[in-house]
Chains A and B, each alone.
Chain A
Amino acid sequence: MLHYDASSCNGCDIEVLDCLTPKYDLERFGVINTGDPFQADMLLITGGVNSQTESVVKQLYSQMPEPKVVIAVGICACTGGVFKECYNIKGGIDTVIPVDVYVPGCAARPESIIDGVMKAIRILDEKRAAAIKDRR
């Protein structure tokens, strides 16, 4: 899982980190946080996309090998949230790259983030099965 902060206020970021603490322990599902798009299956993005982060989001996405899923965490990442109308904000993540799972909330609660990640894993499995079928 790769976590990228597009233009978040850090509220969601901290909740994402919460998921890694002993209390929530995302690793029990085999998910770990990495800094490297090459080794990630999921791209987890907090905050809406602005003109500075747009190219970065695109590039990170292109550097992740297929199959991959994108999770938008927090309302800003889903739709742009309260910043939607700002002059520098493009809107939600789905204005730039395809998003598979939306996790709303301001900030999104750890439980719902974990739930979103679980959903993403399921989508990932489906995509993989489809890819394998394709290859045959």
Chain B
Amino acid sequence: MMRAGLVIAYILLAPVLGAFLDGLDRVVSARMQRRKGPSVLQPFYDLGKLFSKQLLAVNNVQLLLNLSYLVILMIAGSLLFAGADLLMILFILSTADMFLIMSASSDSSPYANMGAGREMIQVMAYEPLTLLLAVGFYLATGSFDVSVIMQQPKSAVFLMPGLLFGFMFVAAIKFRKSPFDLSTSHHAHQEMVMGITTEMSGANLAIINLGEYYEMVLMLGLFFLFFANKNWQSWIVAAVLCLVIFLLETLWDNVSARLKWKKVLYGCWTVTFVAGGVNLLILMLTH
């Protein structure tokens, strides 16, 4: 019952929470740059505006692929909040990303194509850590099931701080933050226009934005798993810490410049290997 409630809450509220966090991110970024910044509700206005616009398309399959991306992301997120298998969730997550890449390459447009290529690099960069993350949870709690992970007497973070660090590092890719915002970005970058989303407008773009909000909440949900245990108090702490992590990503976004793909790939792989791998090794030896 509670699971069904959570899933429904996720499907209904994730875009709201995501858009709110996006607005918060924009305001905080502006303040960091000594600007006033937009209203916190700006992303909501933008979404409304996008849906009211004329639908321009460059081909007939893009909308289909974008919608599939959104729905598959929603399924991945729902599974997480339903307490399903973590590894499967991650696999579905990368399948959803595949649809985004397909959608961008289907344009056969120079900028979108470049974005798609870079997105593939990014997926390749973050995927090892997410798999190790699932394995870490499995070792720490004895199950891939999110529902079991949540019922531990002690939070998983005490057993896997290295993985948490690694995940914070690569999560910037998923949040589309600097220095890893290779494939697309919330800021204007002349060298690749808008990357993946270059050819998307109106409702098409709104769908991608919605998808990103779902993904954002899903990622925060994964962070949540690190801190939550069976006591309800820990859930509050976890929620606060998730917000802190999110703001740290904003800070990092503002203090760093975009890197080249090689640095991104090898950087992520090295961090995965050192932080994630060592953490995992210790877990394996002690469990």
Interfacial residues, chain A to chain B (CB-CB below 8 A)? 22, 25, 27-30, 32-36, 38-39, 41, 63-67, 128, 131-132
Contact = CB atoms under 8 A, between A and B. Distances in A.
15 contacts: A22-B33, A22-B34, A22-B35, A27-B38, A30-B42, A35-B194, A36-B193, A38-B199, A38-B200, A39-B200, A65-B201, A65-B202, A66-B53, A67-B54, A128-B52
B194 A28 contact: no
Contacts of A35: 188-190, 193-194
B45 interface: yes
A13 B285 CA distance: 62
B39 A30 contact: yes
Contacts of A28: 30, 35-38
Contacts of B46: 30
Contacts of B200: 38-39
Contacts of A132: 52
Contacts of A34: 188, 194
B183 to A, nearest CB: 14
A39 B205 contact: yes
A39 B194 contact: yes
Given A65-B53, A131-B52, A25 B36 contact: yes
Contact of B37 (A25, A38, A65, A66): A25
A27 B194 contact: no
Interface of B is mostly: loop
B42 A38 contact: no
Contacts of B248: none
Contacts, number: 69
Given A65-B55, A65-B56, A27 B37 contact: yes
Most chain B CB inside 10 Å of its own CB: which residue of A30, A34, A41: A30
B230 interface: no
Interface in B148-204: 187-190, 193-194, 197-202
Interface in B101-144: none
Given A27-B37, A65-B55, A66-B54, A36 B198 contact: yes
A38 B26 CA distance: 22
B188 A27 contact: no
A25 B35 contact: yes
B263 interface: no
Nearest to B33: A22
A13 B26 CA distance: 25
A39 B38 contact: no
A2 to B, nearest CB: 10
A14 B202 CA distance: 29
B3 interface: no
B49 interface: yes
Contacts of B36: 25, 28
Given A22-B33, A30-B39, A38 B201 contact: yes
Contact of A39 (B45, B187, B201): B201
Nearest to B194: A36
Interface string B12-42: 0000000000000010001001111111001
A129 to B, nearest CB: 10
A28 B140 CA distance: 46
A63 B190 CA distance: 18
A132 B52 CA distance: 8
Contacts of B34: 22
B54 to A, nearest CB: 4
Nearest to B191: A35
Given A25-B36, A64-B201, 8 more contacts: A28-B36, A34-B188, A35-B190, A35-B194, A39-B197, A39-B200, A66-B54, A132-B52
A29 B49 CA distance: 14
A85 B222 CA distance: 64
